[in-house]
Amino acid sequence: MADRGTEILRVEHLKKYFPVPNGMLHAVDDVSFTIRSGETLGVVGESGCGKSTMGRAILRLHEPTAGNVTFEGHDILKYDKHQLKSLRRDMQIIFQDPFASLNPRMTVSEAIEAPLLVQGLYSRRTGKEALEKRVREIMDMVGLSNRLVNTYPHELDGGRRQRIGIARALALNPKFIVCDEPVSALDVSIQAQVLNLMQDLQDRLGLTYLFITHNLSVVKHISNDILVMYLGQMVEKAPSEILFQKPLHPYTKALLSAIPIPDPDLPMERISMKGEITSPVNPARGCRFAKRCPYATEACTSQDMEITEQEPEHFVTCLRVQRGEI
């Protein structure tokens, strides 16, 4: 792994619990990882596994319950309101649903201007021309035609709307972007266009992505490393190629085997899992996948799980893998 970038983000033992009427919902429970500058960490898991909450907790859009988030060497959980506001220039987010995440009463240019004005980088009164120029630059960058400056989101299709979402995130020249299911709402042909755009921008601007998705083919395509989550816990993390070639955790294996392959000559050999995702409210001790796991033993639910580096760069949270039993 020569010549990879320097570490830009370090997350340690991150936890986010939500109080709910019948107890404590463990949305994110003890997740740790690092991302190198200019790379992409893909986060996969099924709905409700806490992947979006984790993305938001890193940006402090949800205040983490416990843990550390270090961005470029600074502990950002200690930042006050003002420091946090300037941090937003470096850390941005692209949301999932381009139909719900844009203000319907703002034109394309107003939507892209907003972060520039909020951060006080431009002013409508004194620097109108510079502002307009910057908006046009950003629109060019994401492939939005200049004639669209005065259109409203409802006049545009999903692909173009998501380009506005990307433009807003890019407006402040950030270093790190949380991409929360940015292509899930788009059709495959449009999805491919947006994925290509995001990769081009990463190469050009040296961006670092935390790419959250439930689509395993997309995550393999775009990520350097992949982190798999299950019910708030991280179960495995490995370089993309290795995770797909040699998954270690039983959940990852089952998840990968469930992907329908678009080739009639490659039939699926699905590893069946019992039942469905259980509730993350007041979870029991130990491995949360144990109830559905074909390899589970009593030991799996009688002690807390630990994450270990099983092979270089390959982290796994499974007692039986750690003991070398499976």
Q: Which span sits near other proteins by CB under 8 A: 21-29, 76-84, 170-178, 210-218?
A: 210-218
Closest approach, Cβ 7 to other proteins, in A, equals: 24
Q: Does 244 bind other proteins (CB under 8 A)?
A: yes
Cβ closer to other proteins: 71 or 230? 230
Residue with Cβ nearer other proteins (70 or 279): 279
Q: 284, 296 in Cβ contact below 8 A? A: no
Here's the x/- map for other proteins, 212-231, by CB under 8 A: it reads as --x-xxx-xxx---------
> 140 to 159, contacts with other proteins by CB under 8 A?
157-159
Site for other proteins, residues 35 to 54, rule: CB under 8 A: 46-47
| Minimum distance of other proteins from residue 257's CB (angstroms) | 8
Q: How far is the CB of 295 from other proteins (least distance, A)?
A: 16
Interface residues with other proteins (CB under 8 A) are 46-47, 157-159, 187-193, 195-196, 199, 214, 216-218, 220-222, 241, 244, 254-255, 258-268, 270, 272-273, 276-277
